[in-house]
Every structure is written in structure tokens, then in C-alpha cells.
């Protein structure tokens, strides 16, 4: 923005040099003028229109003459700055990336640079990797993989999401996912490799596939058993029915000597039928084929039916059954069949594991708000396995019916108590051998209670007995 004659005025020219660089330019010019020293200097100037430009000035000394050339190299400067910024961004991304990155020569595979993530995955320090090849480091579990990679890059192909086996410093074969691209550094062809260790992910996927296969097999088993209920029960019902007819005929004919054998047939058949029923019920639950039939019924009537059924088993081990059922306990609207089965399971267990003791069945109605069963003074202690309160958000201000079954039997340890509702679980092998059963009764009972909007919980102390609680909404609303 100056006239040619104005350039002869050095002070006028220096006014256009950026203030931060003005002294440097003045010093270089003074040395050329007074000490005959040539120079080359780059600096920013501010034009008359206010724009900034970057110039390069070269000055030569020819005798008593000073010759200078000033070139506008702004575009070059900007390109260099952009390149430097790009290199800095690449270096930052390279060094901080959680993905392992390496740069190798394409001709012979020497490592030129690797980031920390790559070193961690490989388990080696930098000094043992740089200037070595992957073959020298014995990285490839399958050496042919290296040949495939170099051949592909030589053809100009890139490689994406390629799963290979890589050997770490400890000799462990790990699964890596590689993406490889041919690049140039200077004029040398190189390979940029990004590596992700997917070993744990593949193991998790394998476990998930195994889990799904097991679940499929379990569903198939459950579906099969559920569909076999008629075929399994029919012959047993026939055997039990014929044994009862035989008992009647022996009694009428005076053939009492055969009564014991017929009684054994009926008892064994009923026991086997109960075991099959438990297995089939559990299979139906797993197969999702259990439905609820909610109807209104009188609680005291249901309790009387349960007591009548369980009384012979209670007396078998010289136990006493105590009832604590208020006369005004009222009605329920729920699945009486499943509730009856749950109570029979609890009472039969109490009778089985108690000898010469006391079994107590207590029933209470509790009025609660917002669907929460709040622990009262006479209900303290019982909580679901996860430590939360019984919660059924579908019911507000509803009545809860609480059934407590306690005994003075053998009880359970804390460890046994944590597993009491798991399928096919009893206290130990000796318990199974001594008392029999499938270990499914409590599992089925808990599932039924949860289906009916409640839960079943347990307290026990080894050698002092057990206490089980069924908590159900008085009115079951079918969704």
C-alpha cells in the first residue's frame, strides 16, 4: 500500500512491520548497513487496509550496495501452519487413543512408531518394539495372516475389521480386530494399523451363545414335560384308583392280609404322583404356561380344607398343629387352588422336618396404603430375598392377607436359607436322602405367590425351627 518512493524511507516501511517483530527487523537491517552482514528473515506486516501478510526478506551485500528481496509467502505460511496443526492433532490422537495404533514400513514391516495402547495390548515396552518386525516379536499365531496383510496392502487394498490371533509378550493368544491402511510418510510407503483387543468381548459373546443355547434347551425340556402331563398322570391315576378298589374289595371280602400290600401300592402311587406334579408345575412355570383363576372364597373354609388334608402327615411324626385364625378373617379374591398348594407345601415341609414338635398356622389381615406391606410389630423380620418390602404397584389402599407357617423342627443355617427358594435345592444330600422330595415345592410356591401379586419369605435358625410367610393382596386384579 505504498508508493515506490516511500519504500526508500526505512522508517516509513518499518511502520508496516508487526509491532512484535519490528525490533527484530530493525536489528537485521542495521547489521546489514553497518556491519555488512547479509540476512534472511520472515515476519508479519500490516497493510494499509489493515490486513496481515507474512513476508520473507532476503538481503545480499554487493560491495557498497545492499540488495533486498521481499516476497509475500502468506499462503505458504498458512499451509505450513495447517500442516503443523494437523500433525499435532494426529500426534495427540495417536498418543491418547484407547485403540492400539502402529506405523510400520510396508517394505519390511519395521515398527516406526506405536502408541501406549498398542504397547499395553502387546505387553511390551517401546524399546523392545521400535525398529523390530512383527515376525521378530513372534506376534502372529498364524504366520499366514501376515502374508495376507502384506499382499493386500501391496495390491492397494485396505483391510477393515479383520479378526486375527496375536501372541502377547506372555505368550497368551489374544483376539485382535485390525484395520490396516497404506499411507506414505515422506516418500516411504507405510502401513497404519489400528488394533482393538476383543478377547473379552468374544468370550462374553460365547458365554451369551452358550446361555441362549441352554435356555433354548431348558425351554424345550419344560415344554416337553408340560405337554406330557396327561401321559404321565393317567397311568398313575389308574394305579391309584385300582389300589383303592382293591382296598375296598379286601375289606368287604375279609382279606385283611392283602390290605397292607394294596395300601403300599396306593401310598407309593400317591407319592410318585405328587413328585410328578411338582416337576410338571415347575416345567409349566418355566414354559410360561401357568395361568391364574381368580375367584372369591372364604379364607376360613380354605384353611379348614388345608388342615384336613395335612393332618395325617402332621400326626405321622407326633406333631401338634396349632391354628390362629380370627373368626372375622373374611374373604379373598385370588387363585384358591394355587394358594392351597402353597400352604400345603409349607405345612408338609414343616411336618416332614419336625418330630414331636409344634407347627403353627397363623392368618392375619393387614390394611396397607399405596401397595406397600409395612412391617408391623407382629410381622417383624420377614422381608423378600432382595431386602425390599413387598411391593405391588397395581393395588392402592388394599388389604393384605398374611399366612405364617412356623415349626420347631431342624431349621436351616444362614447359607441354606439363602438358597431355600432355588429349584432342586434342599439343605444337603443327607436331607434329600432322609426326607425325600424334589426340592421344587418352595420354588413353585414362591412363583405362585409372585404371580398372585405377593411374595413368600423365610426365617430360620439351625436346630430351632423355621418360619415362612405368604403375603398376598386380598383382591387380585387380573391384568
219-237 pLDDT per residue, tens: 777 777 666 666 777 777 8
- Which of 78, 105, 126 is at the close of a domain? 78
Q: Do 303 and 263 share a domain, yes or no? A: no
Q: What is the pLDDT of residues 236-260, one digit of tens each?
A: 788 888 888 888 888 888 887 888 8
The pLDDT, as a whole number, for residue 62 is 78
The pLDDT, as a whole number, for residue 1 is 60
Q: Do 466 and 435 share a domain, yes or no? A: yes
Q: Do 358 and 388 share a domain, yes or no? A: yes
DSSP class per residue in 215-278: HHHHHHHHHHHHHTHHHHHHHHHHHHHHHHHHHHHHHHHT-GGGHHHHHHHHHHHHHHHHHHHH
Q: Do 212 and 158 share a domain, yes or no? A: no
Q: Where does residue 431 rank: exposed (0-12), middle (13-18), buried (19+ CB within 10 A)?
A: middle
Q: What is the pLDDT of residues 279-318, one digit of tens each?
A: 777 777 877 778 899 999 999 999 999 999 899 889 989 9
Number of domains in the chain: 4
Could you tell me where the DSSP H helices lie in 331-383?
Answer: 336-352
Asked, for residue 85, whether it belongs to a domain, the answer is no
Task: Tell me the longest C-alpha to C-alpha distance in the chain.
Answer: 153
Q: How far is CA 45 from CA 40, 72, 75, 76, 478, in A?
A: 16, 10, 14, 15, 84
Output the domain CATH number for residue 131: 3.30.450.20
Q: Do 65 and 172 share a domain, yes or no? A: no
Asked, for residue 86, whether it belongs to a domain, the answer is no
Q: Do 129 and 185 share a domain, yes or no? A: yes
The pLDDT, as a whole number, for residue 397 is 41
Q: Do 335 and 421 share a domain, yes or no? A: yes
| Number of neighbours of residue 440 by Cβ within 10 angstroms | 23
The pLDDT, as a whole number, for residue 187 is 82
Whether 334 contacts 294, CB under 8 Å? yes
Buried-state track 454-468, b at ≥16 Cβ within 10 A, e below 16: bbbbbbbeeeebbbb
Q: Do 264 and 354 share a domain, yes or no? A: no
Could you tell me where the DSSP H helices lie in 43-114?
Answer: 74-96
- Which of 259, 286, 313 is at the close of a domain? 286
Tell me the residue range of the domain where 138 lies. Answer: 97-197
Q: Which residues of the chain have pLDDT under 50?
A: 370-380, 383-397, 427, 429, 432-433, 435
Amino acid at each position: 500500500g505504498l508508493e515506490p518512493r516511500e519504500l526508500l524511507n526505512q522508517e516509513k516501511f518499518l511502520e508496516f512491520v508487526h509491532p512484535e517483530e519490528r525490533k527484530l527487523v530493525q536489528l537485521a537491517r542495521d547489521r546489514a548497513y553497518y556491519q555488512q552482514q547479509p540476512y534472511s528473515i520472515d515476519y508479519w506486516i500490516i497493510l494499509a487496509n489493515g490486513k496481515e501478510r507474512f513476508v520473507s526478506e532476503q538481503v545480499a551485500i554487493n560491495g557498497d550496495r545492499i540488495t533486498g528481496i521481499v516476497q509475500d509467502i502468506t499462503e505458504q505460511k498458512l499451509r505450513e501452519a495447517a500442516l503443523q496443526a494437523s500433525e499435532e492433532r494426529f500426534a495427540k490422537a495417536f498418543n491418547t487413543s484407547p485403540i492400539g495404533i502402529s506405523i510400520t514400513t510396508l517394505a519390511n514391516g519395521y515398527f516406526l512408531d506405536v502408541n501406549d495402547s498398542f504397547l499395553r495390548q502387546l505387553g511390551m515396552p517401546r524399546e523392545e518394539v521400535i525398529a523390530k518386525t512383527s515376525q521378530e516379536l513372534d506376534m502372529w499365531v498364524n504366520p499366514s495372516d501376515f502374508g495376507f496383510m502384506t499382499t493386500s496392502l501391496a495390491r492397494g487394498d485396505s483391510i477393515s475389521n479383520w479378526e486375527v490371533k496375536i501372541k502377547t509378550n506372555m505368550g497368551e493368544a489374544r483376539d485382535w480386530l485390525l484395520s490396516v491402511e497404506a499411507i506414505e510418510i515422506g516418500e516411504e510407503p507405510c502401513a497404519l494399523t489400528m488394533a482393538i483387543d476383543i478377547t473379552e468381548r468374544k468370550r462374553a459373546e460365547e458365554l451369551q451363545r452358550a446361555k441362549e443355547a441352554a435356555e433354548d434347551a431348558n425351554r424345550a425340556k419344560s415344554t416337553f414335560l408340560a405337554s406330557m402331563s396327561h401321559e404321565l398322570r393317567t397311568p398313575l391315576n389308574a394305579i391309584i384308583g385300582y389300589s383303592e378298589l382293591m382296598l375296598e374289595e379286601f375289606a368287604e371280602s375279609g382279606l385283611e392280609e392283602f390290605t397292607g400290600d394294596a395300601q403300599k401300592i396306593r401310598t407309593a402311587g400317591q407319592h410318585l404322583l405328587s413328585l410328578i406334579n411338582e416337576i410338571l408345575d415347575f416345567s409349566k412355570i418355566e414354559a410360561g404356561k401357568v395361568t391364574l383363576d381368580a375367584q372369591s372364597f372364604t379364607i376360613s373354609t380354605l384353611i379348614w380344607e388345608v388342615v384336613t388334608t395335612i393332618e395325617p402327615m402332621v400326626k405321622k411324626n407326633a406333631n401338634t398343629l396349632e391354628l390362629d385364625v380370627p373368626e372375622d378373617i373374611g374373604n379373598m379374591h385370588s387363585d384358591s387352588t394355587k394358594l392351597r398348594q402353597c400352604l400345603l407345601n409349607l405345612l408338609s415341609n414343616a411336618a416332614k422336618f419336625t418330630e414331636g414338635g409344634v407347627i403353627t398356622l397363623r392368618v392375619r389381615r393387614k390394611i396397607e396404603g399405596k401397595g406397600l406391606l409395612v412391617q408391623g410389630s407382629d410381622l417383624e423380620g420377614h422381608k423378600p430375598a432382595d431386602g425390599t418390602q413387598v411391593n405391588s404397584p397395581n393395588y392402592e389402599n388394599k388389604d393384605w392377607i398374611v399366612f405364617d407357617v412356623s415349626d420347631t423342627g431342624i431349621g436351616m443355617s444362614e447359607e441354606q436359607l439363602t438358597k431355600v427358594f432355588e429349584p432342586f435345592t434342599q439343605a444337603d444330600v443327607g436331607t434329600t436322602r432322609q426326607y425325600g422330595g424334589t426340592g421344587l415345592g418352595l420354588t413353585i410356591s414362591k412363583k405362585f405367590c409372585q404371580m398372585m401379586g405377593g411374595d413368600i419369605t423365610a426365617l430360620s435358625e439351625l436346630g430351632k425351627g423355621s418360619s415362612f410367610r405368604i403375603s398376598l393382596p386380598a383382591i387380585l386384579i387380573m391384568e
